[in-house]
Amino acid sequence: MSKVETRDVDYSRVQMTEIVLPEDTNTHGSVFGGRVLALIDKCAAAVAIRHARSGVLTLRLDSVEFRNPVHLGDILLLSGWVNAAFGSSMEIQVEVYSEEPTTGQKRLTTNAYVTMVGVGREGRPQKVPGLELQTDEERRRAEEAAVRRERRLNTPR
């Protein structure tokens, strides 16, 4: 692990912006779910790399539901942050919004929880810095992440 023992949530926060292009869409003119999943994974990886300052691997992406279609030409906004850092693993939350280009109206498309693991050169798990919780919202998110983690660990793979 790096010599830093703890980092705050803002240290690793990531915002990503994409425009939906023709190659991202299906025959209905809305974005492929798999394209959004890839962006979620990329955003979560960037958050985890910043927090750990090491290599990271995606261990798990919890089920995601696409609530509103995203159309060709829409702007996609991804926002990612660390909810909790355990030993080698971290729960990263990624929210995805679409922005209609002419009105600027924003709608939540999906919310995802990604478990990323800090790894060393051999690709084996290694401890990541702890997370400094500074606000009530951060403490609530960390508590909820711990409950989700227990559930994941108790679910047979």
Ligand X SMILES: CC(C)(COP(=O)(O)OP(=O)(O)OC[C@H]1O[C@@H](n2cnc3c(N)ncnc32)[C@H](O)[C@@H]1OP(=O)(O)O)[C@@H](O)C(=O)NCCC(=O)NCCS
Site residues (CB under 6 A) for ligand X? 57-60, 86-89, 115, 117, 119, 125, 149, 152-153
Nearer to ligand X, 25 or 89 (CB): 89
Rounded to the nearest whole angstrom, what is the least distance from the CB of residue 38 to ligand X in the complex? 11
Nearer to ligand X, 28 or 157 (CB): 157
Return d(Cα 97, Cα 111) in angstroms, integer: 9
- Give every CB contact of residue 28 below 8 A, 6+ residues apart in sequence: 69
Nearer to ligand X, 111 or 126 (CB): 126
Return d(Cα 14, Cα 144) in angstroms, integer: 21
Rounded to the nearest whole angstrom, what is the least distance from the CB of residue 147 to ligand X in the complex? 12
Return d(Cα 49, Cα 65) in angstroms, integer: 25
Nearer to ligand X, 71 or 152 (CB): 152
Rounded to the nearest whole angstrom, what is the least distance from the CB of residue 144 to ligand X in the complex? 14
Return d(Cα 110, Cα 96) in angstroms, integer: 5
Nearer to ligand X, 69 or 125 (CB): 125
List the one residue out of 47, 39, 53 whose CA is nearest residue 115.
47
Rounded to the nearest whole angstrom, what is the least distance from the CB of residue 112 to ligand X in the complex? 14
Rounded to the nearest whole angstrom, what is the least distance from the CB of residue 35 to ligand X in the complex? 16
Return d(Cα 11, Cα 104) in angstroms, integer: 28
What are the beta bridge partners of residue 76? Answer: 18, 98
